[in-house]
Chain A
Amino acid sequence: MGAAGGSKTEPRISFYGGKWASTVPLGFFILWAVFQSGVLGIGDTNGLVIGALIGTILGMFFVRGDWKTYADTIFEGMTQRVAATAIVAWLWAGMFAETLQVGGFVEGLIFAADALNVGAATFPAAAFVLCGLLATGIGTGYGATVAFVTLFFPAGVLIGANPVLLFAAILSGAVFGDNLAPVSDTTIVSAVTQDADIGGVVASRFKYAIVAAVPAFIAYLIMGSVLSGASLEGAAALRDTATAPGLVHLISMGVVIATAVAGRHIVEAISWGLVVAVGFNLALGLSSVSDILVFTVTEAGTFTALPFVAVGDTAGVGGSLYAGAIGFFPLIVLTLLIVSMAQIMIRGGGFAAIQEFLLNSVATTVRRAEVTMVLGTAAINGMITINTAAEIAIAPYIARIGEKFNINGYRRANILDANTSALGYIFPWAGGVLVGYQVMVGPNGLGAEYGPEMVVNPIEVVPYVFHGWFLVIVFLVAAVTGFGREYVPDRTSGEVSRA
Chain B
Amino acid sequence: MSALDKFLAGWSFRSSTPDYEPGDTIEVMVTGEKGGEATARIGDSILRIEGAPDDAVDTRVLVAVETWDGSTHRGTGTYRETVGGSAF
Could you tell me which A residues sit within 8 Å of B by CB distance? 4, 8, 193-195, 199-200, 203-204, 206-207, 365-367, 395-396, 399-400, 403-407, 409-412, 481-489, 491-492
Q: Which of B19-34 contact A (CB under 8 A)?
A: 20, 26-29, 31
C-beta contact mask, B22-54 vs A, less than 8 Å → 1, else 0?
A: 000011110100000000111110000000000
Residues from chain A with Cβ under 8 Å of B66 in the complex: none
B42 touches which of A204, A412, A487 (Cβ 8 Å): A487
B15 contacts A by Cβ under 8 Å: yes
Q: A200-B6, A403-B58, A412-B87 are in contact. List 18 more A-B contacts (CB 8 A).
A: A193-B87, A193-B88, A194-B87, A204-B7, A206-B7, A366-B16, A366-B43, A366-B44, A400-B88, A403-B29, A409-B87, A482-B14, A484-B14, A485-B43, A487-B42, A487-B43, A489-B26, A491-B1
| Cβ contacts under 8 Å, B18 to chain A | 487, 489
User: What is the minimal beta-carbon distance from B27 to any residue of chain A, in angstroms?
Assistant: 6
Q: Is the CB of B14 within 8 A of A403?
A: no
For residue B72, CB closer than 8 A to chain A, the reply is: no
Q: Which residue of B lies closest to A482 (CB)?
A: B14
Given that A4-B88, A195-B87 are contacting pairs, would A405 and B43 also be in contact in the complex, using a CB cutoff of 8 Å? yes
A207 and B27 form a contact (CB under 8 A): no
**Do residues B42 and A399 form an inter-chain contact, with CB atoms below 8 A?**
no
Name the residue of chain A whose CB is nearest to the CB of B32. Answer: A404
* Bound complex: CA A405 to CA B32 (Å): 11
Closest CB pairs A-B (n = 10): A203-B6, A489-B26, A485-B14, A399-B87, A366-B43, A482-B14, A484-B10, A406-B42, A195-B87, A396-B88
- In the bound assembly, the distance between CA atoms of A483 and B14 in angstroms comes to 6
Q: Is the CB of A405 within 8 A of B41?
A: yes
The answer on a CB contact under 8 Å between A488 and B60 is: yes
Residues of the B chain whose Cβ atoms lie less than 8 Å from the Cβ of A405: 31, 41-44
A207 and B10 form a contact (CB under 8 A): yes
Alpha-carbon gap, A193 to B88, bound state (A): 8
Query: In the complex, what's the smallest C-beta–C-beta distance from B38 to chain A, in angstroms?
Result: 13
- Whether A399 lies near B88 (C-beta < 8 A) is yes
